[in-house]
Chain A
Amino acid sequence: MTNHWVDLKNAKVFLIQGSNAAENHPMAVKWMLEAKKKGAIIIHVDPRYTRTSSIADIHAQIRPGADIAFLNSIINYIITNNLYDEDFVINHTNALLIANEEFDYQDGLFSGYNDGKFSYTNLSWGYTLDEESKPIKAESLDDPRSVFSKAKEFFKRYDFKVASDICGVPEEKIKLIADTLVNNKPGTICYALGMTQHTTGVQGIRSFGILQMLLGNLGKPGSGVNAMRGEPNVQGATDMAMLFHIIPGYLAVPNHDVVDLDTWTSRTGTFRRTFMTSILKAWFGDHAQPENDFCFNWLPKKNGRENYSLFRIFETALDKKMKFLYIMGQNPMVTNPNLNLVHESLGNLDMLVSVDLFMTETAAFWEKPGVDPSTLDTEVIFLPAASFLEKEGTLVNSGRMVQWRYTGIKPVGNSKTDLEIIDLLFNRIRELYQGSSDSKDEPILKANWNYEAEDSPSFSEEVLKEINGYNLATGELLKGIGELKPDGTTAAGNWLYAGIFANNQNHSKRKDNINDPGGLGIYPGFAWTWPGNCHVLYNRASCDAEGKPYDEANKCIWWDEEKGMWTGYDTPDVPNRNDGPDTPNGKRPFRMAGEGLARILAGPYQDPFANQLLPRDSSSVPADGPLPEHYEPFESPTENVLHPNVPVNPCVKYPRIPDKQPIGTAADYPYVLCTSSMAEHWCAGTQTRNMPWLNELQPETFIEIPKNLAAEKGIKNGDWVKVWSARGEVEAKAQVTHRIHPLKINGKEVDVVWMPYNWGYKGLSQAASTNYVTIDAGDPNTWIQETKCCLVNLDKA
C-alpha cells in the first residue's frame, strides 16, 4: 500500500476494484465505513455483487479481465475534458518531458517489438535527452512531443462506448464513476488479487497509477494506490526477497553477464550500491572487502534469459531437471493453478521437504485419492513447525507496519520454529562441507552465520538486529537508512528496515495508540513502518512546488522555511530533509525512479546525477509496454475488438509446455470462471480447514451460478455440478445466485460463474480443489497466473 489501513478514514471516495474487501480484508471496510460516516462515497467494481458491494454507493458488474478498458476510458474522459489536476501533473509527473521521437504503437504493439521473442527492445519508450543525458522539458502540456500529448493520443481510443462493449459496464455508469472520482478528493484506490491475477496484471495497476496521477491522488492522506496484500506476511516475505529476481530490499539478483559490482551498479544505480555492499557485509562479514568486490561474485547469477518463478520449479521437474524442493509454509497442491501439472511434477522430484503445521496436500501428494503411491519415487520429509502463537518475531501488514508477535506457550509436540529449523539445516550442510577446498563451497564455509540465541524471542531479535544493520566501526545499531555506507563500514540485511532497532530498542514492539499528530491515523509510536517510519509514501507530492500543502485541511508534511527542513505529521519521504523544494532533491517525490517523478509513460531512464557510467538511479520498465493496453485473457469469450490480430498480451509465451497447458475456446467452454477466497477460509485452507468453527461456517466448496444459466441447465440450489476446462474437472455444489447477471460483451451475452479455491483432500474439511480447472498463463512482469478468468463448461453432475 502507498498509504495504510487507518488512513482509509481520510478518503472522500473509494474505488474498490478486484477485491472483496468485506470478506478478505475486513479492517479495510471498517475504516471505509468510518469515512462513509463523514460522507465518503464507495464505488465497487467487481464481477459479482458481494458483501463489499452491499456497503457501496455504486456497484458496477464488470467482466473479469476487462479492467484496463474500463479504467482507460475514465483516464480518456479526464484528459479529454481537462478534468485533471494540472499543478500536480506538471510538477509531480513526467507529463511535460519530451518523449523519444521513435515512440509509437499500432495494432496492439508498441515500438520495438521483437517478433517471435515475446519481448520488446524498449529504448524508444524513453525521453529525448539533452547533452547531460537529462530529459528535455516541454513548455506546455499541449506540446505534441510531450509525454502528456502522447498519452492523450494513446487513451483517445478508449471512449465509454468502446469500454462498455469490452467490459460490460453500461456507458452511463462508467461516466457516473468517472465524475464521482473527479468531484471527490482525496480519493483512494483499493485492489487485491482480482487485479493482479491476470496476464495483464501489472498494466491494470499502471492504469490505476495514471488515473491517480491525473487526479493528484498520490502522497496525500486518503489517497494512493493501495494493494491489499493477500497473506499475513507476504509483505515481509517480499521485502526479504523470497522471489527469484531480487535479494532483500528489492535489489536485483545479478544476471549472468553482471560480472562485477560496478556492472551491477551501472544497471541499478549508486543509490542501491550502498545497500548491496551492506547486505554483502551482513552475509559474508570480514570476508567481504573492497579488494574482493565485497564477495559480490559469491552470489549466484541467474541466466538472464530464463525465468525462475515457482511455475518453472514445477515445469523443470517435469523433465527431471528439478530434484529438490524445500517448502516452508506453502501448499502449492491447492494454491497453484493447473494442479494436474503440479501433481505430476511432485512425483518427479528426488526429495520434497515440507515444513508445516498440519498435513498438506503437497506433502501428501502421494496419498491423493486414486493415485498408486508405489509408482511415486519421491522421498518426502515433513518437518513440523511451531505456529505463530508459539514463537516470537515480526510480521508486516499491508501498510508496511512491522509488528512484533509475542508468545506465552511452547511449540506443540516436538515441533520447532522455522528459524531453528533453517539454522539446524544450514549448520548441518556446512558441517558436511567442512574441509572442502572447492571454490563453490567457499561462500557456505565463510558465510557470516553464527547465531547464538537458543530460544525464540532472542533468536528473532538477533536476526532482526542483523536486518536493521550495524555500524561496523562502533558496533552500534543503525538509526536509519541515511547511516548506510557504500564503503563496507556498515552491514545491514535489508536497508528498508534500517532504524527498526535504533538505539537498541525493538521499535516493532511499540504500542502508543494515543499520540496521533494531525489526527490522520498515523500513530508514529505504534509499531514501526518502513521506510524510516514513513506511513504515506511519496508524501512530498502532497505539497506544491514551494513545499506548501495542496490542501491545508488535509496536510501531511511540508517545508518549514524557518527551520530549513521538511517536517510534518509523518516522516517526510524526501532524500534529505534539509534539501529545500527548490533543490534537485526537493523535487523528487517519487525518488525510487530515476526521474524522481510519477511516470505516465514508463520508459527506460537512468538519472546521471552520479555520473553516466554509474548513475544514481535506474527506473524500472514494464516488460509489456510503457502505457496500459487492453488485451483479452488467454481464454476469452470474445475477440479483441481493438486489435483482432494481437488479441492477447504479446509478451506472454503460453503454453510453455504445450501438451500440459491446453487453451480452451469459447465454442467448447462458453462460461467465464472467476475464483477467489472467502471470509471463512484462507488460501490453501491448511490452517482454516482444520479449525472446526470455520468448517461449521463454510463446510464445503461450491459454485455460484447465475439464475439464468442455472435455469438453462436445469440446476437447482444444492445440486452437484460438474465443472470442466481444457485442463481438468471438478465437482461442487451449486449455489444459484441473483448476484451475477449476464453481461452484454461486444453484442453477445456472456455468463460468469465463481468458485472459491480453498479446498483439497487433507484436513478436517475436504472437497475438490478448484485449481485443477484454472489456467497457468501468467503476467510477463510478475508471472502471476490468470486465475481470475478462464473458460469452463458445466452441467448437472
Chain B
Amino acid sequence: MKRRDFLKLTGVTGAGLLLTDLGFNAAPVEAASQTIRIHNSEEFYSVCTFCSCGCGMICSVKDGKMINLEGDPDHIVSEGALCSKGAAMAVMPNSDQRIRNPLYRAPRSNKWEEISWEEAIDKVARKFVETRDDYWISDETIDGTTYKVNRCDAVSFMGGAQNNTEESYLLSKMSRILGAVYVEHQARV
C-alpha cells in the first residue's frame, strides 16, 4: 500500500503521521472517512509552481471545481510537504482576481476594454507584422564587410520561467522563426 492510500483509508490527510500498523478494525475508520471533504472527488497530480524544488501536489476536483490541494506523500523530493506558497495555490483556479477575457487599452486611454480572442490575436499579429516589415534588417555592414543577418531588432519576446517547458520551447521556436533576437526571461533577473 502506498502511503497516500493508507492515509486516505484512515481519513488523515495531513503529512507527518507515521503508523506502521493500524492495530484496529479499519471498517469504522473507513466509514468515518466518508465525511471528509474530498469524498467522491476526482484527483489529479500536479507539481508546485514556485521556487524549483518541484514538490508534488494532489488536487481534488468536485463538479468541475477544485476543492482541495495537498502535498503528495509519494513524491520523492517533497514526501507530502508543501511550503506556505505551495499550500496557498488552491485559491488559484477559484480566485475572482483572475482575468477572464482579453483586454485592450488604446493609446492614451485610461481604461481597459474587453475584446474577443479573435480581435486580440488579430491586433497583435498585425502590429507584429507591420513592425517586422518596417524594421527588418536583411544585411548589416560591420567593419566594411556586409553580412546577411535576417533579423528584426524592434520586436522582443519575454517570459518562460513560470510556463510549462513545452510552452517555452514553442515561444522560443516561434520567436526565432519570426526573426527576433531579443528573446529573454526571468533567468536574467
Contact = CB atoms under 8 A, between A and B. Distances in A.
Contact of B158 (A326, A358, A397): A326
A682 B54 CA distance: 15
B10 to A, nearest CB: 20
A356 B99 contact: yes
Interface string B125-161: 1111101000110101010010111111111111111
Interface stretch (A150-158, A169-177, A644-652, A687-695): A687-695
A90 interface: no
A415 B154 contact: no
Nearest to A316: B153
Contact of A358 (B74, B97, B104): B97
A425 B154 contact: no
Nearest to A312: B182
B81 A30 contact: yes
Interface stretch (A77-85, A208-216, A232-240, A596-604): A232-240
Interface in B146-180: 147-174, 176-180
Contacts of A728: none
B147 to A, nearest CB: 4
A27 B3 CA distance: 19
A752 interface: no
B108 A373 contact: yes
B124 A393 contact: no
A401 interface: yes
Nearest to B86: A26
Interface in A386-445: 387-399, 401-410, 412-419, 421-426, 428-429, 431-433, 440, 443-444
Given A233-B164, A328-B167, A408-B61, A26 B44 contact: no
Contacts of B106: 379
B43 interface: yes
A467 B165 CA distance: 10
Contacts, number: 491
Interface residues of A, number: 162
Interface string A654-696: 0000000000000000000000000111110001101111100
Given A395-B164, A408-B61, A426-B174, A327 B159 contact: yes
A242 B54 contact: no
B83 interface: yes
Contact of A238 (B152, B154, B187): B187
Interface string A305-339: 10011111100100001111111111010011100
Nearest to A384: B99
Nearest to B111: A373
Given A253-B181, A303-B140, A380 B159 contact: no
A755 interface: no
A410 B65 CA distance: 9
B107 interface: yes
Nearest to A299: B176
Contact of A384 (B78, B92, B101, B151): B101
B76 A248 contact: no
A325 B140 CA distance: 23
Contact of B151 (A241, A301, A398): A301
A235 B156 CA distance: 21
A80 to B, nearest CB: 37
Query: Most A CB atoms within 10 A — which of B88, B138, B173?
Result: B173
A350 interface: yes
A526 interface: yes
Given A234-B185, A526-B76, A297 B148 contact: yes
Contacts of B6: none
Interface stretch (A141-149, A223-231, A480-488): A223-231
Query: Most A CB atoms within 10 A — which of B83, B91, B148, B162?
Result: B162
A377 B107 contact: yes
B109 interface: yes
Contacts of A460: 164, 166
Given A25-B51, A444-B178, A467-B166, A374 B108 contact: yes
B102 A384 contact: yes
Contacts of B162: 231-233, 329-330, 388
Contacts of A257: 142, 145, 147
A463 interface: yes
A275 interface: no
B51 to A, nearest CB: 5
A776 to B, nearest CB: 9
A782 B54 CA distance: 25
Interface stretch (B18-26, B32-40, B115-123): B115-123
18 contacts: A30-B79, A236-B164, A238-B187, A302-B149, A322-B154, A327-B158, A350-B127, A397-B47, A401-B54, A403-B54, A408-B43, A409-B65, A409-B66, A417-B167, A422-B171, A425-B128, A426-B177, A429-B178
Given A231-B187, A325-B157, A679-B85, 19 more contacts: A5-B54, A231-B50, A242-B187, A244-B182, A323-B155, A326-B128, A330-B185, A373-B109, A381-B105, A387-B92, A403-B56, A406-B44, A412-B93, A422-B174, A440-B179, A681-B85, A683-B186, A690-B97, A764-B97
| Closest A-B pairs by Cβ, 4 of them | A413-B100, A397-B54, A393-B164, A237-B160
